Chains A and B, each alone.
Chain A
């Protein structure tokens, strides 16, 4: 917290009394890993963001922008945190050319609300991300949380075509534009993806949009072993079938998913066999493509000796798709102490998944593995209590995983962990070799390091 006198009053003089809060109950809602801001500001225009940022620069105050705050726990605890910049007041669609499939939208626009507008034109943004009902466009981009559709549509950087933002000198800047192909100037907007608020305050984002598919399909195959599930995945990957998503769930992960399904959709009609390794595939296209993919998946699963192979009806598919989209959310609350890792490996095979599970093994911990398409692994370590012994077990496993990932030419990031554990390690793993290059970028955007200090890779 800052010691600056009359902070709230001075902020009020910039953007008005009704959009500044300095009362404790609300401040606590904006706390990050126990670090509480001194004031909350709620600007409703880019010029107001500029005002607050210029004030913060002059007073050397740390600013952390946020949207719905659904993923504030990502990243390290902030080194300083004076002003919480709540961006939900910027929530308009600035430009939408449905005929050109391009969109310009304020950062604080809720994703669900945007989806409803786009759906009127049978379009969408392929951002199928956790906390979907509350998350904002800006928060989704800055946190770079995975979309379950990335296998088919790529990551945000692939369809972000421009941005406006307030940099660390208090200037409203832009990069890119509103056309789908553009190499005019440096692509600075790409740097904002996954920057966790450390480079600038994003005020507006431009995207290319996509047409909603005519038909959806879903298939669930279960196997008695990881070998069977892996053989099935390999057959799918070698076939080149265009799947929207492909997820392998370990028996533990599937049991957790089944529990969430039973709770949220008691009418879910597909029998769930938690003792098995399961592979869920979702796909989309026209009325001819979906049955073709369904047929191929049934063939591949039979060849890999699946214990069960089921085509999902539209309702069941929608339920399972939704539950897996929210995996990040329910996995982190699945037991009293949870360490949720996102691990990326260039190659995913039975052998290295088995080695990964071995590296994570601790007598007192359960592990749930979810292997998503495009080489993304969510490994959740679950402790049954919050005591020192549980913390020690999680810390030991984390240390081994942070070694395992680079040894296998991959990366591990700790997405969620108890506060006490986060205070004892870097959730980003070892310092990356290009850290000094990242620091140059940080210094260019934010010379005084006022944006979210200490939260990012290597202490940026």
Chain B
């Protein structure tokens, strides 16, 4: 344990901010995905200057770097593929400025998503992107993955709520892009860096827009006896131009698991439910709720309930947002997919997913952002069974391929990471990759930041390959 990099990091940050023992490192070898990769060192910066110095040291010793928030990601984006140095932003968790008059907050990357809302809700404001993991995921991770959530249907994903970033480049340089207002002349660099999965720079400060709470909210629970009816309802809500704040679908099998875990009040005997929220002015909400109910009934909803108070509404959302945890009780592991399809093709997509699951012997749960066509099929499997694991991956790839065939995309909010990088060729040509690679190299020329992510390693993107460095790091125990 006398590697020179470790010594210098200890000296820079103090031993309490550096992990190097295997029993500590194993905690950082996984995230919410099915992937695993162990870092060689984990450090906890407290300031932007810490990050800059750490990056300089990593460059000095030619060691790759990966940034990480809470590790709730679902595509392996925050895993140290090929080892190296992991920067965990958990201790850079201060809200630096609240400008309520202008609806802006300036935060460090380790601030937990929901904590922004908690800090501003007294002023009738909130931070709109609301991933299911919002109680634990960090804003830095949200920025890296361009995270979404149920309410992004009406309010947009993370990039729509970020106006400025402070970044540390791979050579340690600290730069700022964007502006507080978010309307500076020039290229939309925030638009590029948000969602770049930590492959261009490390984000050390974020300016976010705050959204005003709606005057009125109604949450509807529509219960169906056939999945086809529920998915046809979503297609028609979209086609009629009704824009709910959220439109979530959960199938019957998943509902039972949620009820066992949360007791949210979901029916145990239905094929699917839709959880639909409309919000805005009182007058608009009343009309939208009536229109939504009309569409639900047209498509044979067995029952349409409206949450009678905040307690019932919160319970329904608690059930929805803890669904993945509920499914965790049914099998040793699960694989959550993230394909996107045109909303007009929802019914056929769900039928095909069911067939693919059957083909490989899996029950596939569906709990997803139906309103924007963002599917989250969940394959339950036992990772100790190698064949089952292999089949789960094969089934998942087949589902993603089908999404692309329908005119969709590989990921709506979880990112590509190291989970889907080999599928990128389904969508992008050599010319597309060449341009993306040039943009990558303009900021991260040596692939020292988060190597092995986004780009397919099999496509000749040689510079993006994972490098395994030796010498500077402590030997694995």
Contact = CB atoms under 8 A, between A and B. Distances in A.
Interface of A: 97-102, 122-123, 154-155, 157-158, 167, 169, 171-175, 177-188, 190-191, 193-195, 199, 210-212, 240-242, 285-286, 288-289, 292-293, 344-347, 374-376, 409-411, 413, 428-429, 432-438, 440-445, 447, 456-458
A428 B189 CA distance: 17
Given A173-B435, A188-B436, A346-B180, A99 B192 contact: no
A432 B280 CA distance: 38
B411 A182 contact: yes
B161 to A, nearest CB: 10
Q: Which of B156, B160, B243, B409 has the most CB of A within 10 A?
A: B409
Given A193-B188, A432-B184, A185 B340 contact: no
B415 A183 contact: yes
B128 interface: no
Interface string B103-132: 010000000000000000000100000000
B309 interface: no
Given A99-B344, A240-B214, 14 more contacts: A157-B191, A180-B343, A184-B410, A186-B436, A187-B146, A191-B188, A191-B192, A289-B287, A344-B183, A346-B180, A434-B177, A435-B186, A440-B443, A456-B186
Contacts of B282: 292
A330 B243 CA distance: 36
Contact of A242 (B160, B280, B344, B424): B280
B23 interface: no
B342 A97 contact: yes
A99 B231 CA distance: 13
Given A179-B340, A434-B189, A171 B196 contact: no
B413 A444 contact: no
Contacts of B427: 177, 184-185
B160 A444 contact: no
B181 A183 contact: no
In the A-B complex, list the 4 residue pairs whose CB atoms are closest, starting with the nearest. A211-B241, A190-B191, A171-B431, A99-B344
Nearest to A160: B191
Contacts of B434: 169, 171
A175 B432 contact: yes
A273 to B, nearest CB: 30
Interface in B225-261: 235, 238-243
A123 B241 CA distance: 8
Contacts of B280: 242
Contacts of B195: 183, 186-187
Nearest to A375: B181
Nearest to A429: B185
Contacts of A447: 438
B438 A184 contact: no
A181 B369 contact: yes
B185 A184 contact: no
B342 A100 contact: yes
Contacts, number: 239
B416 interface: yes
Contact of B159 (A174, A178, A187, A429): A187
Contacts of B177: 434, 437
A434 B175 contact: yes
Contacts of B239: 98-99, 101
B428 A288 contact: no
Interface string B337-355: 0001111110000000000
B45 interface: no
A411 B183 CA distance: 8
Interface string B377-404: 0000000000000000000000000000
A48 to B, nearest CB: 17
B102 interface: yes
B469 interface: no
Nearest to B188: A190
Nearest to B163: A346
B432 to A, nearest CB: 5
A177 B181 CA distance: 28
B429 to A, nearest CB: 8
Nearest to B414: A183
A347 B104 CA distance: 11
Contacts of A191: 187-188, 191-192
Among A157, A177, A182, the one with the most B-chain Cβ atoms within 10 Å of its Cβ is A182
B160 A158 contact: yes
A288 B99 CA distance: 34
Contacts of B192: 186-188, 190-191, 441
A177 B409 contact: yes
Given A179-B341, A434-B175, A440-B442, A173 B215 contact: no
- Residue of A173, A211, A241 with most partner-chain B CB within 10 A: A173
Interface residues of B, number: 85
7 contacts: A173-B432, A289-B283, A376-B183, A409-B181, A413-B185, A433-B175, A441-B442
Given A179-B407, A240-B215, A347-B101, A188 B157 contact: no
B286 interface: yes
A73 to B, nearest CB: 15
Contacts of A188: 192, 435-436, 439
Interface string B164-176: 0000000000011
Given A158-B156, A194-B187, A185 B435 contact: no
Nearest to B407: A178
A443 B192 CA distance: 15
Contact of A437 (B175, B196, B414): B175
B212 interface: yes
B436 A154 contact: no
A409 B180 contact: yes
* B189, B414, B429 interface centre (most CB from chain A within 10 Å): B189
Q: Which of A183, A240, A293, A456 has most B Cβ within 10 Å?
A: A183
Nearest to A172: B431
A183 B212 contact: no
A346 B182 CA distance: 9
A441 B342 CA distance: 31
Contacts of A347: 101-102
A211 B240 CA distance: 8
Given A185-B428, A242-B281, A288-B284, A101 B160 contact: no
A100 B183 contact: no
B152 A181 contact: yes
A344 B148 CA distance: 28
Contacts of B194: 187
A181 B373 contact: yes
B274 to A, nearest CB: 17
Contacts of B284: 285-286, 288-289
A171 B416 contact: no
Interface in B414-449: 414-416, 424, 427-429, 431-432, 434-436, 438-443
A191 to B, nearest CB: 5
* Most chain B beta carbons < 10 A, residue from A102, A346, A437, A440: A437
B408 interface: yes
B189 A437 contact: yes
A254 B239 CA distance: 40
A411 B373 CA distance: 38
B83 interface: no
